[in-house]
Structure 1
């Protein structure tokens, strides 16, 4: 089993229409799902599984969050050995505590954080003593890349590499868009260890946010499934270093997501 402390390991969609989202992503990404107890808003929580096991969930936007203007979005959970202590430590490093640590029955203890630039993520310590097994790289239906559209590039880079212990890889010059800094959540510095990137928030992004790239097979076939299901392609397909192909898209309820795959030979 892999220690997920300091790493993204669970991904959650809060949406206005959970059933429609389950149908859409089940077709686009290939996830299977099953209900799990009651979500915090009293509705059913659906656990998602990719080819290597459980990786996330789907739930309705809680009423209080909806009343405050929350729209559908994907959030990520970072593993914590002590949520209360880590929340205090991350606040001292420049983060903001958005929701104080609390317990979820039969799940674990969590807190909602915001990095110095304004992007939101969650901390979670599961109630099970067993650690999750990390999926193999580019396992279908799992997250193959993590990308931060940063509201404060220098502060966020220092936050994640300092307080969370991530390692820096190469930085790529994107011209007017600034620098794209590769990062490794596992601490490795070689290209194979890189699990994501941090870049300044482009003007097209309404707010700082993490974007998660779900792994599919042929990217062109995935594009067809996105549009057939009522989603919108925002960018791509585009080839990236290493030979993979990516798209950014929004689902029918408006949540932004991304896919990473390949170009299958004809």
Structure 2
């Protein structure tokens, strides 16, 4: 399995979960995905933990920066220049939730919100480039913006990161929008359907698994909740949506060939 050492600007490069019960969250994902973890011992790091799979970094976990913040997964989009990207975010109608800051020698980041309300982070690599393993069981498989206004979201992200959009029909509803850098599909935009319309916009984190049904059963054993039972998506794979015991929502996807 190849190791990822760099990410093109606009590519999801990292995910981390914020949790007010960090030990409980870490235990859940270690048991579910077979991850190892190591917490940063520097006092300024605030207990940030790095998850790894087979010795390669896959995700992070952090306590909340403010009291009362719910547990959630965050998507980081790669950039060569955080400050320039922040300028484009503002020009395109987005806003900042966290101004640019340096994270030790690891990199430089900011947290933003698109015009539809979905929060995302941007990451300029220093010593930390992002996930070293992806698209393998127990690692990041996909990220998508789930929103009530896919057209506005797509226009925003294209303006900021230079994506091209491929529209994939989805029955009677809005098409699924695939964000592409050249020929490479890097992320998606999903318009919330009637059942979910009105829910807050967010970026979803999807992890690859060998068997979606087994992953769902194991998550339930560990105290997780099933939000969407396993279902087959043509040409994509077998998918399910889950919530961990502390409240963070994530998704799992088994490749149709597995």
Unmatched 5+ stretches in structure 1: none
Following TM superposition, by how much is the alpha carbon of 1:49 offset from its aligned partner in structure 2, in angstroms?
Answer: 1.5
Q: Is 1:74–1:255's contact at 8 Å kept on the other side of the alignment?
A: yes
Q: Is 2:143–2:203's contact at 8 Å kept on the other side of the alignment?
A: yes
Q: 1:187 aligns with which of 174, 182, 202?
A: 182
DSSP 3-state at the match of 2:223? coil
Q: Is 1:39–1:45's contact at 8 Å kept on the other side of the alignment?
A: no
TM-score of the two chains, using structure 2 as the length reference: 0.88
Is it true that 1:249 corresponds to 2:242 in the alignment?
yes
DSSP 3-state at the match of 2:210? strand
Is it true that 1:84 corresponds to 2:77 in the alignment?
no
Is it true that 1:47 corresponds to 2:50 in the alignment?
yes
TM-score of the two chains, using structure 1 as the length reference: 0.85
Query: 2: distance between equivalents of 1:59 and 1:135?
Result: 20
Aligned match of 2:109 = 110
Aligned match of 1:178 = 174
Aligned match of 2:9 = 5
Query: 1: distance between equivalents of 2:129 and 2:50?
Result: 17
Following TM superposition, by how much is the alpha carbon of 1:201 offset from its aligned partner in structure 2, in angstroms?
Answer: 2.8
Q: Is 1:151–1:200's contact at 8 Å kept on the other side of the alignment?
A: yes
The Cα RMSD (Å) is: 2.4
Over 3 Å counting, the alpha-carbon distance change for 1:121 and 1:231 in structure 2 is same
Is it true that 1:221 corresponds to 2:214 in the alignment?
yes
Superposed CA deviations along residues 166-200 of structure 1, whole A, max 9, x for unmatched, are: 2322322342x43222223x331xxxx43432122
Q: Is 2:164–2:182's contact at 8 Å kept on the other side of the alignment?
A: yes
Q: Is 1:7–1:79's contact at 8 Å kept on the other side of the alignment?
A: yes
Unmatched 5+ stretches in structure 2: none
Query: 2: distance between equivalents of 1:264 and 1:168?
Result: 26
Following TM superposition, by how much is the alpha carbon of 1:248 offset from its aligned partner in structure 2, in angstroms?
Answer: 0.4
Aligned match of 2:21 = 17
DSSP 3-state at the match of 2:213? helix
Query: 1: distance between equivalents of 2:115 and 2:34?
Result: 35
Ranges of 4+ aligned residues in structure 1 off by more than 6 Å:
none
Aligned match of 2:69 = 70
Q: Is 1:101–1:111's contact at 8 Å kept on the other side of the alignment?
A: yes
* Corresponding residue pairs, total: 252
Over 3 Å counting, the alpha-carbon distance change for 1:95 and 1:53 in structure 2 is same
Query: 2: distance between equivalents of 1:132 and 1:254?
Result: 24
Over 3 Å counting, the alpha-carbon distance change for 1:51 and 1:213 in structure 2 is farther
DSSP 3-state at the match of 1:5? coil
